[in-house]
Amino acid sequence: MRKQFVVVVLIAVTLAACAPQNRAQVQPVATSATAQPSRLLNIAVRLEPASLATKVLGQPGGGLATAKALFNAWVAQPNDQNVMIPVLVETLPALNTAGWQVFADGRMETTYTLKRNLAWHDGTPLTPDDFVFSAGVFMNPEFGLSRVAPFYAMEDVVAVDDRTFMIRWSRPYADAGHISSRNDEFAPLPRHLLGRPYAELTSDTFVRQSFWSRDYVGSGPYRLDRWEPGAFLEATAFDRYVAGRPKIERIKMTFIADPNTAMANLLAGEAHAATDNTLGLQHVVVLKREWGSGGIVLASLGSSYRHTFFQLRPELATPRAILDLRIRRALAQGFDKPSIAEVVAGGEHDIAQAMLADSMFYRISEFGPAAERGAVKYPYDPRRSEQLMNEAGFQKGADGYFVGPEGRFRTGIATNYSADFDEEIHIMAATWRTTGFDVEESIIPAAQAQDAQLGASFPSMLTRTTFAGATTMVGFTSNGIPRPENRWTGVNRGAWTNPEYDRLVSAFGSTLDREERQQQVTQLMREFTGDLPAIPLFYLASPFVYATGLRGPVDVPADTSNYWNIQEWEFR
């Protein structure tokens, strides 16, 4: 198993004397620190999911990891050794066998046989026809996903018999053997529920159906029972889940935007677990101090990646000077990234050093060393930052701020709400001001965090969290630019365009040889960091916090979900 950062804390449930006050929109914290055993597992998550589906039509990326894992099943998933194991299918096709054929012109065919007696949550059989239907939906350009993995490489999907389907690929695709890479999953959709609406409704009406949220029917370990908007959802163990009925009968997901309130609920025993970046490392430090022997924290470093996008749409860029590469490089070297990492890491110096990022590939991941070889570094260097500003026509005025032909250089930085991220941009802006940049900070409320159009229409700089690794690298092509015609989906929020980068990503996606892919990542990172459409900041630890009454979660590599074995969990 790959090395990773893991924090394991053994602690007793003790309500902190200084526990923060609750916000009105979340559940009240109990006044007693004693939690009674319960068959209902309450998991706190920071955001209310826009959908429970693996792919959210009209939204960038997928839904929350917890929601995806509870309500969906895939062809395969990685286990705690980061090895892909079949889930919905009997076996995974192997390259250059009858199950995975590559032809002389680059086209491919892969074949998958479903396990017997698969079912949707409403009891309807899950069949190859559901994969055929799903492919038609996801490959439809009107939903904004046809140009992302794996759908851009698919030619069509056909049902071979009542348990087998085949994917015909228009080009080589390295993950065709399992089609279940994180955020690039090809999951089935229930034709019996969506076939008629898909045929009869407009695309706008289709994506707004209640099926995607409060009436969702999936094939995962839990089926949805109740959804209270703005508050919580509840689910029951699915009898016919392919890996076996989960041992925990009922699960609740409570939406708690404020991390301090989430932590107070955990300490009080009202919530039994927290995930999906509900808590930052600062809160982990508090839990070490406050919790005793009643809770455990697992935190895998490197699954998420935080970076600051530049707005490169000329009509939106404010000031337009950020279109100048010298200005972007000056900003990259004009703030103290290590100091910010110390704050985000809660003062844990070793963790802070491990968090620092020069690319979207964690340094000990599969492509990490290759990315490190290609990445252009931008260490904190106020003198070099000033030199670059001078070259771009800006000089420091009497007040210490950069001034150009059109006046003072003024810019802004925004981020989505979180206690860690709030403090992060305050420190960034403060050090930029010391260097000579007039920077204004703004916070995007949690309620707007999933607004795809807002996430692409920022005026200057936007700091966001995305997946680390190849998913984000591939997303930075011109195909990944959010636009009205693709429903504002895409990782490339700042609308960066670079033909050489596009060419290299296309080659990477069509290459099956591992060593050649390593070389391509080196070239890609050299191109990306050299042109600097976004400043790499940190690899985030994603704490998974749970009470000791919960048995089953284990330490996993960064690319694996903590929920991979949820059907085996027990809660007493």
> Given this model, what pLDDT does residue 63 score?
56
Q: Are residues 489 and 341 in the same domain?
A: yes
Residue 58 to residue 7: CA distance in whole angstroms: 36
Q: What is the three-class DSSP state of 404?
A: strand
Which residue type does 120 have? W
Query: Between 337-344 and 419-435, two packed helices, what is the crossing angle to 10 degrees?
Result: 160
The predicted-structure confidence for 96-122, as pLDDT tens digits, reads as follows 999 999 999 999 999 999 999 999 999
> Given this model, what pLDDT does residue 307 score?
94
Q: Are residues 181 and 315 in the same domain?
A: no
321 within some domain: yes
- Whether the per-residue pLDDT at 459 is higher than 70: the answer is yes
132 within some domain: yes
Q: How confident is the model at residue 145 (pLDDT cuts 50, 70, 90)?
A: confident
Q: Are residues 526 and 399 in the same domain?
A: yes
> Given this model, what pLDDT does residue 367 score?
93
- CA 23 to each of CA 267, 416, 449, 454: distance values in angstroms, whole numbers, following the listed order: 16, 18, 18, 25
The predicted-structure confidence for 314-367, as pLDDT tens digits, reads as follows 999 999 999 999 999 999 999 999 988 888 777 777 878 888 999 999 988 889
The predicted-structure confidence for 258-307, as pLDDT tens digits, reads as follows 888 999 999 999 999 999 888 877 787 787 778 877 788 887 777 788 99
Residues 6 or more apart from 225 whose CB is under 8 A from it?
Answer: 234, 235, 236, 250
- Whether the per-residue pLDDT at 370 is higher than 70: the answer is yes
Among the residues of 486-531, which ranges form H helices? Answer: 499-509, 514-531
554 within some domain: no
Q: Are residues 314 and 179 in the same domain?
A: no
Q: Measured in whole angstroms, how far is the alpha carbon of residue 357 from the centre of its chain? A: 16
Which residue type does 363 have? R
- CA 297 to each of CA 64, 179, 343, 550, 552: distance values in angstroms, whole numbers, following the listed order: 19, 31, 19, 12, 13
Q: Are residues 328 and 181 in the same domain?
A: no
Residue 376 to residue 295: CA distance in whole angstroms: 41
Residue 270 to residue 107: CA distance in whole angstroms: 54
Residue 268 to residue 261: CA distance in whole angstroms: 11
- Whether the per-residue pLDDT at 530 is higher than 90: the answer is yes
Which strand (E) or helix (H) includes residue 195?
Answer: helix 191-200
Q: What is the mean pLDDT of residues 243-260?
A: 95
Which strand (E) or helix (H) includes residue 196?
Answer: helix 191-200
> Given this model, what pLDDT does residue 169 score?
97
Our CA angle for 204, 61, 74, nearest 5°, is 100
Query: 177, 197, 217: which is the final residue of a domain?
Result: 197
Q: Is 480 exposed, middle or buried (0-12, 13-18, 19+ CB in 10 A)?
A: buried
242 within some domain: no
Q: What order do you get walking across the sheet with 395-396 strand by strand?
A: 395-396, 402-404, 407-408
Residues 6 or more apart from 485 whose CB is under 8 A from it?
Answer: 141, 144
Q: Are residues 178 and 306 in the same domain?
A: no
Question: What total number of domains does the chain contain?
Answer: 2
**Residue 332: what are its φ and ψ, rounded to 5°?**
-65, -35
Query: 197, 214, 234: which is the final residue of a domain?
Result: 197
Local structure of residue 170 (DSSP, 8 states) = S
- CA 315 to each of CA 17, 311, 435: distance values in angstroms, whole numbers, following the listed order: 51, 10, 27
Query: 197, 223, 242: which is the final residue of a domain?
Result: 197
6 within some domain: no
Task: Find out whether 262 and 274 touch, Cβ atoms under 8 Å.
Answer: yes
163 within some domain: yes
The predicted-structure confidence for 176-232, as pLDDT tens digits, reads as follows 999 998 888 999 999 999 999 999 999 989 999 999 999 999 999 999 999 999 999
239 within some domain: no
Residue whose C-alpha is closest to residue 560's, from 9, 83, 16: 83
Q: In the block, which residue shows the tokens 């890996």?
A: 243
- CA 534 to each of CA 111, 309, 310, 391, 429: distance values in angstroms, whole numbers, following the listed order: 39, 4, 6, 21, 16
The predicted-structure confidence for 32-62, as pLDDT tens digits, reads as follows 333 344 479 999 998 899 899 988 775 544 4
- The domain of 156 spans 70-197
The beta-strand segments (E) located in 206-245 are: 222-228, 232-237
CATH number of 488's domain: 3.10.105.10
Tokens of 321: 């000077």
> Given this model, what pLDDT does residue 418 score?
61
Q: Are residues 447 and 325 in the same domain?
A: yes
> Given this model, what pLDDT does residue 550 score?
94
CB atoms < 10 A from the CB of 32, how many? Answer: 12
Task: Find out whether 463 and 414 touch, Cβ atoms under 8 Å.
Answer: yes
- Enter the pTM of the model: 0.77
Task: Find out whether 107 and 115 touch, Cβ atoms under 8 Å.
Answer: no
Q: Are residues 308 and 183 in the same domain?
A: no
Tokens of 282: 């600062």
Comparing 156-160, 407-411, 464-468, the range with the smallest average pLDDT is: 464-468
CATH number of 138's domain: 3.90.76.10
CB atoms < 10 A from the CB of 198, how many? Answer: 17
Q: How confident is the model at residue 28 (pLDDT cuts 50, 70, 90)?
A: very low
Q: Are residues 186 and 322 in the same domain?
A: no
137 within some domain: yes
Task: Find out whether 160 and 166 touch, Cβ atoms under 8 Å.
Answer: yes
Among the residues of 233-336, which ranges form H helices? Answer: 259-268, 281-290, 325-332
Residues 6 or more apart from 350 whose CB is under 8 A from it?
Answer: none
Q: Which segment, 302-311, 388-397, 464-473, 545-554, is predicted with the most confidence on average?
A: 388-397
